[in-house]
Amino acid sequence: MSATQLATLARTSAPQSALRRFLALDAVVTGANALAYLAFSGPLGRFLGVDSTLLLALGAFLTAYAAGVGLLASRRQPPALGVRAVVEANLAWTAVSLVALALWLTPSTAGAVWTVLQSLTVAGFAALQYMALRARQGRSD
């Protein structure tokens, strides 16, 4: 993805703003997912074919994670180390989700589709955050 495409996607030509927007979007989407898992673990568990206790645990974890990413996004200049940690955590989430789907989970069809789609979404956040971080570092060098 070129810097122009990245700027268009972020609706800003400032890499710092793009990075903060991608982090904030990640925090909002993750937070919404976490709240859904916490509030509707029973019905979602039945629909997705996943244990509701697992969804509750994931919801609690994702709530804390979303808060941390949101805090990072609120910084005027998010530290590169923190952004790299978010990118790596997102990539790890993607990998673990897909491995769990292949080896451990036996979800419904909807659950399998959901797992793949959320994995791709999280990988997309990681890619956008990484590219925005690189664009910011390129400007400051």
Say if residue 1's pLDDT is above 70.
Answer: no
DSSP string spanning 18-52? HHHHHHHHHHHHHHHHHHHHHHSHHHHHHHHTS-H
On whether residue 11 sits in a domain, the answer given is no
> Residue holding tokens 């969804």?
55
Please list, in sequence order, all residues whose beta carbon lies within 8 angstroms of the beta carbon of residue 29, skipping any fewer than 6 positions away.
121, 125
On whether residue 7 sits in a domain, the answer given is no
- Cα gap 56→73, rounded to integer Å: 25
- Report yes or no: 18 and 12 within 8 Å, Cβ to Cβ: yes
On whether residue 124 sits in a domain, the answer given is yes
Q: What is the pLDDT of residues 5-57, one digit of tens each?
A: 444 555 555 667 899 999 999 999 999 999 999 999 999 999 999 999 999 99
Residue 111, φ and ψ in degrees, nearest 5: -65, -40
On whether residue 21 sits in a domain, the answer given is yes
On whether residue 132 sits in a domain, the answer given is yes
Please list, in sequence order, all residues whose beta carbon lies within 8 angstroms of the beta carbon of residue 44, skipping any fewer than 6 positions away.
36, 37, 50, 52, 55
Mean confidence (pLDDT) of the chain:
91
Domain encompassing residue 91: 16-138
- Cα gap 19→103, rounded to integer Å: 34
Q: What is the pLDDT of residues 85-115, one digit of tens each?
A: 999 999 999 999 999 999 999 999 999 999 9
On whether residue 93 sits in a domain, the answer given is yes
Q: What is the pLDDT of residues 70-86, one digit of tens each?
A: 999 999 999 999 999 99
Say if residue 120's pLDDT is above 70.
Answer: yes
On whether residue 55 sits in a domain, the answer given is yes
On whether residue 24 sits in a domain, the answer given is yes
How many separate domains does the chain show? 1
